[in-house]
Amino acid sequence: MSDPENVPADGPRVVRAASARFAAKIFHYGNIVAMLVPLPLGIFWLGASMLVYAMNRHNPNPRVGHYTQTGATPLYGALGLVVVVATFFSRGLTPWLVLWAICAVVVIPWSIYQLVLIQREEWHDTPIPDNEDRE
């Protein structure tokens, strides 16, 4: 079923500029929240981020995919660092807090910077190609 908001009366279906801008921001908002509240939201965001990435990486507007990818790179890099480094942790809480702080210092400013770039960028409606146009 098509969304009536995306179907102009006289032309092809389009992704509205406001919708594309919001889709580009979602991954970065999730990163910030996950870093601020790592338990339990960080764990849930790890799974949800994969879904958001899959939905937005191949958006008809290529800028959405670009900004989604720029959000995924530091998040998955930081989580990869956690897996490798945490293997050598003892049972104390201090190493976990230090590692969380390092990840937050990398991911949060990067996501805020990307949100500023997304907001400053001029967004345009993007036509959705018909099935005949895809190959």
Contacts of 69 (CB under 8 A, 6+ apart): 53, 57
> Would the pLDDT of 100 be above 50?
yes
44-66 tens-digit pLDDT: 999 999 999 999 999 999 999 99
103-114 tens-digit pLDDT: 999 999 999 999
Mean of per-residue pLDDT scores for the chain: 90
Which is more confident, 42 or 111?
Answer: 111
Q: Which of 5, 40, 15, 3 is nearest to 128 (CA)?
A: 15
Q: Look up the pTM and report it.
A: 0.85
Q: Which of 120, 31, 114, 14 is nearest to 67 (CA)?
A: 114
Per-residue confidence (pLDDT) for residue 9, from 0 to 100 = 55
Cα–Cα distance, 31 to 104 (Å, whole number)? 9
Q: Is 7 helix (H, G, I), strand (E, B) or coil?
A: coil
- Domain ranges across the chain: 15-123
